[in-house]
Chains A and B, each alone.
Chain A
Amino acid sequence: MKCHVPGANVKVLGRTVHALARFGDELYLESLPDCILLRTLNAAESAYAMVKFNKNFFSYFNYNYYSTEDNEGLKCKISMKSALNTFKSPTHMDKQVENLEIKLDADACKLIFQLKCRHGIVKTHFVTILDCKAMQAVYTKDTVPNRITSPQRILSDALNNFQSSDDQLTLEATPLSLILRNYIDCSIDLTKIIRTQITLKPAEFDSYVIGTETIITFSLKEFRALLAFAEALNLPLQLHFETTGRPAVFIVHNGITFEAHFVLATTKPDSTSQTTATQNTSVERKKRKDTTSTQGSVKKKPHLDMDVSKCLDEDSHLFNFVEIPDENFIESNNKQNGHVSKDNKNNSKVEAMDCDNIPASPTSKTIKSVFKRCFESTFDPRSIQGVILAENSDSD
């Protein structure tokens, strides 16, 4: 494969690489007969990005430059760091670079970026190919009930109201309003954190269709990155999402030369943290959790749940979005809790209680709240009779 990117588009490519760099550490490049795809996946496998550059994005595009027989398309994986090195300072790139040549040989072990700059300076980057695999996420964007097209400024203005320490965003979509909130894990001390809520009216958006009301929560870091991307290119952002637990797809495209899809995993919001749930129940729940005690296996649970919930499963050749239905999720939770409580005297009672205390979101709040409670001023050691805390944490 060999292609030339004209100066103006080098900037777009640079922006893309910078946006993808905020998602993942590795960049997958796949060359097809009529386009080039760049993909990345974050470490937690909760965010995926794919940018497709059509043939007309390039001033010269030859898929079959090295005349390979292979019709499946050339694939390679490179480290994001080396890609970033090639596209330093994308803001000024269009002024310095006149042309960029990308070459990928099926037999070579290097991907070549050749930047032809002003005054006859040529910079060539030989980027080591780490792997020859491609990956792909399976997601739906066309059949989803909820679609919003937003001028990019609206959402980035709204996000400015959130604290930089906020890491997850809850989006509540109803036909009458779109509410953005910072997600608060119930293990976080509520007296320390600002709760922020922004209500946007549908009239602010270019188009606003909510088929099913829903509340989704996703990572703010990646969302900020993709908004910055849309803002830099001055393009509107399309939000396509279904319900809780299904991936949300964000699309930025200019209709002709390129199209970017950003897919973020969503989780259920924590009902106790935001709505005015009575405090009694949450305290009770904590007590029950205390009596359930914690074994080593529980300590690992948050990680396990985290991975499962991220909805991505790595295959040898393809990444598939594997949707884990909530039932499975609950079942595994119950199994674990049940297993743990066998050691307890009030075995059956605890298990029954746990059924209506299914954690709403797969966070590590169980473990956090158990330990947090020990340090609370109102902590009453009698409430956790029969459990030796020190031993439990040591047993891991």
Chain B
Amino acid sequence: MKFRAVMIDAGPMREFSNVVTIISKLSKECVLRLTDDKLYFIVSEENSGPTPPILWCEIPQAMFCSEYQMLGLDEEHKDIYLSFSSGNLARSLVILKTAKSLKMKLTKKQCPCLTLEIEMPSTTSQQTRQVTHDIPVTVIPRKLWTDFHEPRIPDPDISIELPPLKQLRTTIDRMRTMTSEVVIRASAEGRLTLQIRTDMAKVSTRFKGLRVEAFGGPIDHSDSETETQMNEDMSRVCYCRVDAKKLSMFLSAEQISTNRTVCSIVHRKLVILCLTTDESVKLQCFIGGIVY
């Protein structure tokens, strides 16, 4: 098993550091899957056994690495799966923002390690300095690989482009102080509504004129507690109740130089947030719906 990658461009290095930071906010542990053309960061729900991942992030190596070599177990099992503490990686990569180059290697130093060799410019002179971090990793055995396959998701009822994440995040963070659950409603007319309800108040924030990427036909509201709103065709609205904290954590991804983020909703069941960047990083977050 071998792995070696080199990054030398400032932009991608910064983005890589940002992505890892966001992952570390979502979960303490994460899985890195290495394949010939992509790096995957996979986060499963903590302490709940083999459940479908809540975060799926794809990074095309060609856009990031100037050098990339890897060798799996054998011809049949070409991938490498590593599990480690995402915080460890994120803290080690913080300095990437000013670094000159990053070299990643899979090494064995008493235990399997992901070795990061970072070349830093000196603050006071023309010299460079070498920073090496050995992050202990666990190599995931083949029989457990199936736990980390891309989740199969039902076809979403609607996919709608999100407004700037920063706006959404401030809204959600305000709402979070009042209640733990938030209802996301999206209509085929391009309206996105964030709604909370407490004993004292009902708060909703609407975003209008958003691009609808796909709409999967009329929504059946027969068994739901939806309250109809005036002049709205309910068959063209779908919603999902989610944990506000999880949503807010994903929205901390605002610091990535975002290209665009699409929110897909499977009516009442699932919210899929998919962020794609200029460097073709795809960050997908799956938040299960709360149904009473």
Task: Show the binding face of A for B, using Cβ within 8 Å.
Answer: 151, 153-154, 157-158, 160-161, 163, 190-201, 203-204, 276, 279
Contact = CB atoms under 8 A, between A and B. Distances in A.
Contacts of A201: 127-129
11 contacts: A153-B124, A161-B92, A163-B91, A191-B136, A194-B88, A194-B134, A194-B136, A196-B131, A196-B134, A201-B128, A204-B122
A267 B92 CA distance: 27
Contacts of A279: 110
A376 to B, nearest CB: 13
Contact of A190 (B110, B129, B133): B110
Interface residues of B, number: 23
Given A192-B136, A194-B88, 20 more contacts: A151-B124, A154-B122, A154-B124, A158-B131, A161-B133, A190-B110, A190-B111, A190-B136, A191-B138, A194-B91, A194-B135, A195-B134, A196-B131, A198-B131, A198-B132, A199-B130, A199-B132, A201-B128, A203-B127, A204-B122
Contact of A200 (B88, B129, B134): B129
Nearest to A203: B127
B92 A194 contact: yes
Q: Is the interface of B mostly helix, strand, loop or mixed?
A: strand
B123 interface: yes
Contacts of B111: 190-191
B130 to A, nearest CB: 4
Given A192-B136, A194-B88, A194-B92, A203 B125 contact: yes
A243 B51 CA distance: 54
B95 interface: yes
B109 interface: yes
A196 B132 contact: yes
Contacts of B136: 190-194
Shortest beta-carbon contacts, A-B, top 7: A195-B134, A199-B130, A197-B132, A191-B136, A204-B127, A198-B131, A201-B127
A261 B109 CA distance: 38
Interface string B176-205: 000000000000000000000000000000
Nearest to B91: A163
A285 to B, nearest CB: 14
Contacts of A195: 109, 113, 133-134
Contacts of B123: 153-154, 157
Contacts of B110: 190, 276, 279
Contacts of A191: 111, 136, 138
B129 A199 contact: yes
A199 to B, nearest CB: 4
B127 A194 contact: no
A160 B88 contact: no
A154 B124 CA distance: 7
B76 to A, nearest CB: 28
Nearest to B109: A276
B124 to A, nearest CB: 5
Interface in B76-130: 88, 91-92, 95, 109-111, 113, 122-125, 127-130
A198 B92 contact: no
Counting chain A CB atoms within 10 Å of each CB, which of B91, B111, B122, B125 scores highest? B122
Contacts of A200: 129
B20 to A, nearest CB: 14
